[in-house]
Structure 1
Amino acid sequence: MSQSRNRLSTATLVAIAIALGAVVGAAGIYWKASPSGNAPATESLAAAENTACKADPEMLAKLKPLAKGEVAAMGIREKPVVLPELGFVSEQGDAMTLADFAGQAMLVNLWATWCAPCRAEMPALSELQAELGDDGFKVLAINIDTGDVAKPKAFLDEIGVANLGLYRDASMDVFNTLKKEGLAFGLPVTLIVGKDGCMIGAMNGPAEWASKDAKALVGALKGS
C-alpha cells in the first residue's frame, strides 16, 4: 500500500484516538485530546536560564505564523531552551542522545505501537523524511515500547517504513523526563529542535506531517 493511502488526516487521527483511547490507555500515557484536537506543550522550561541557547528573533518570527492548519498545535517558544539529556539506543543497541545529531535540525517524535494515532502518522513522518531529510534536517522517531525490538520492528516492516531507522527507549525514561518538564502528557509527543540542539517548539497529539503546512514549517526550520 502506498504511503499516500496510509496517511490519514488530522481529523481522522483525532477520531481514532477518541474511539480507542478509552480501551487502550497503555501505561497511562495514551494521548488525551484537547478541545482543538491536540495541544502545544506547556512552557515549564521557559523560566529557566538557558544561556546556551541564543534566540534568533527573525527565525522565531518566521516559524510562529507557520504553526497553523495541520500543525496549528505546535507551540513555538518565545526563547529556545536546552533540553534535559534524552538517552535512547539505535536498532543495533548503540547508546545515543540528541547530541549525536548535532548540526541537524530535527523533528523528534515519541511513539509506541499501542498508540493508534502514533501508528497512523508514521507513514507521513516517513514521507517528510524522504522529501526534506538531509544533512540539515532529520525526523528522529523514538519508540518507547517496553520489551524487545521485535514488535516495533515488525510494525515498521509491515507498513513499509524503512527510512526512519528504529531508535528506542524501552525504559520510557525519554517520555518520563519530558513529562516532568511539562512537555509530554500523552502520545504522540513531537518536538522541533534547532541545529544547535535547542528546543524551539513542542506539541502533544497527532498531526499530518506530510501536509503542506508541516513541510512549510520544516522548510523554515531547515533555513534557520
Structure 2
Amino acid sequence: MLRVLFAVIYTALTFGANGAAMAGPAEAAALLSGDMKKLVIHPEPKPLPDVGLLGLDEAPQSLSDWRGQWVVANFWATWCAPCRQEMPSLDRLEAAMGGERLAVVTIATGRNAVPAITRFFDEAGVTRLTALRDPKSGLARQIGVMGLPVTLVLDPEGREVARLIGDAEWDAPEALAVLGAMIR
C-alpha cells in the first residue's frame, strides 16, 4: 500500500512541476526507466482488428467495449511463470489508476480453462482485473503476440500506441509516471 501511495505522490509531483507541459505517448517516451525501458512507444498508433473475445461467463466481448478509455491490455496464460509474477502488479495498477480514463484488461491466450483462470487469480490475490479469453489465439496471432506476457497500451480510439514484451512491475513509480503522461 505504501508503494502505491508513493507512486501516486511521485506521479503527481512529476506532472505538477510543469502543468503547462503537453503529455501523450511521445512525451511519455522521455520518462522511460526501470521496467518501462522495455516499453516500445509507436511513432503512429496502430489499429487493432476487432476480433471477438470471451468473458469468463462465455459472453462475447471485444476490446472495442473499452473505446473512450485508455486500456492496458495484458496477454497471458495460466501456465506462464512470468505472468504469475506480473499479474499482482497489474491488479495494483487497476487500483491506483483504473476508472473512467484507464482500464486494465487481461486476455488469457490459448487454452486456458475458466476454472484455471479463476484459480490463478485467487492464488495471485488478483481481485480487480477484467479477465477475457482469446481461446483460439485469434487476436494474439493477428497482432503478433509470439510469447507471453505481452502488454499493449491502447488509446481511447482503441489503437495500439505502445507494447511491452515480457513482464513488468506495472505499479512501479516509473510505470505510473509513463501511463500518467499518456492519459493526461
Aligned: 1:144 with 2:89: no
Q: Which structure has more RCO (C-alpha within 8 Å, separation ≥ 6)?
A: 2
What letter corresponds to residue 58 of structure 2 in structure 1? G
Structure 1 letter corresponding to 2:173: K
Summarize deviations over 1:136-167 as a string: whole Å, max 9, x none. 10111111241531111111112221110321
Q: Shift of the alpha carbon at 1:59?
A: 2.3
CA distance in 2, matches of 1:116, 1:92: 25
- The 3 A distance-change label for structure 1 pair 202 and 147 is closer
Match of 2:172 among 196, 203, 211: 211
Residue 100 of structure 1 is matched in structure 2 by 65
Name the structure with the higher helix share: 2
Structure 1 distance, partners of 2:175, 2:112, is: 32
Counterpart of 2:155 (choices 194, 200, 223) is: 194
User: Offset at 1:68?
Assistant: 2.3
TM, length-normalised to structure 2:
0.83
Name which of 77, 81, 86 aligns with 1:116: 81
Structure having the larger proportion of residues in strand: 2
Q: Percent identity?
A: 33
Amino acid at match of 1:59: G
1:134 aligned to 93, 96, 99, which one? 99
Aligned CA distance change for structure 1 residues 217 and 58 (closer, same or farther; 3 Å): closer
What is the distance in 2 between the residues matched to 1:177 and 1:222? 26
> Structure 2: where are the runs of 5+ without partners?
4-21
Matched-pair contact (CA < 8 Å) for 2:90–2:171 = yes
For the residue of structure 2 that corresponds to 1:208, the secondary structure is: coil
**Residue 27 of structure 2 is aligned to residue 62 of structure 1:** yes
The CA distance in 2 between the partners of 1:91 and 1:128, in whole Å, is 21
C-alpha distance in 1 between matches for 2:51 and 2:168: 23
SS at match of 1:186: coil
User: Which shifted more, 146-155 or 112-121?
Assistant: 146-155
User: What do the CA deviations read for 1:89-140 (whole angstroms, capped 9, x no partner)?
Assistant: 1122111111101111011100001110011100000000001000110111
The partner residue of 2:49 within 71, 79, 84 is: 84
Superposition misfits of 4+ residues, deviation over 3 angstroms? none
CA distance in 2: counterparts of 1:92 and 1:126, whole angstroms? 20
Change (3 A) 1:69 1:88: same
- Aligned counterpart for 1:168 among listed residues 133, 136, 141: 133
Residues 38-62 of structure 1 show CA distances to partners (whole Å, capped at 9, x for unaligned) of xxxxxxxxxxxxxxxxxxx962331
Change in CA separation of 1:160 and 1:62 when aligned onto 2, cut-off 3 Å:
same
Distance 1:60 1:218, change over 3 A: closer
TM-score w.r.t. structure 1 length? 0.69
Letter of the aligned partner of 1:107 in structure 2?
V
